[in-house]
Homo-oligomer: A and B are copies of this chain.
């Protein structure tokens, strides 16, 4: 029996998210199906991040155990031949039998793309949130600076999650304009439910001048979801990378 780790990229547009659900298309279900056909075993992967419906990934991580004689590094291409073309296993490798993608220490990096122009762009409709009106990126960056470090992010967590603590550590938040796109890149040790999307929604309020950058500090201190901005739409969000300190 060996444990294999997969790096998984996907276009989340046509899925109800990562986690398996009855009567829904999910990334996890597709991986289980492809792996079970490939190995002849009943395989259930264990994923690092249960991304929501419409959210994308360059590098989500999953593991599974198998007795298959297929070499670990051959799984990627063998699976890609069996997966729909909006899911790609970028890499496969053997890991220690005790290693777990959610319990191992890691840095997760998310990217959020805003299309900031008058007209929508049909080629980016599934990969950006379209927000028109002038956004002040300098102010957004200033507001973001209050989020860096270890804080109680209760104000940035949607209801319905069961967590022991809402304290999390953010390593960096970068807000950059590239032409008519604004990219918000957030790195941290772990994230609460909808945390990145609520951070983006709040920074958009800052960008529009609805709230001052320094008010982000007060929103943190309130520990109250109702004082932060809206949850930004799913399709702008991508899980870029999970880096493990191995």
Contact = CB atoms under 8 A, between A and B. Distances in A.
Interface residues of A, number: 21
A86 B86 CA distance: 18
Contact of A127 (B87, B119, B123, B238): B123
A120 interface: yes
A76 B120 CA distance: 11
A41 interface: no
Contacts of A76: 119
B123 A9 contact: yes
Nearest to A77: B119
A91 B76 CA distance: 44
A230 to B, nearest CB: 21
A96 to B, nearest CB: 24
A80 interface: yes
Contacts of A88: 119-122
A58 interface: yes
Interface of A: 9-11, 56, 58, 76, 80, 85-88, 90-91, 119-123, 125, 127, 238
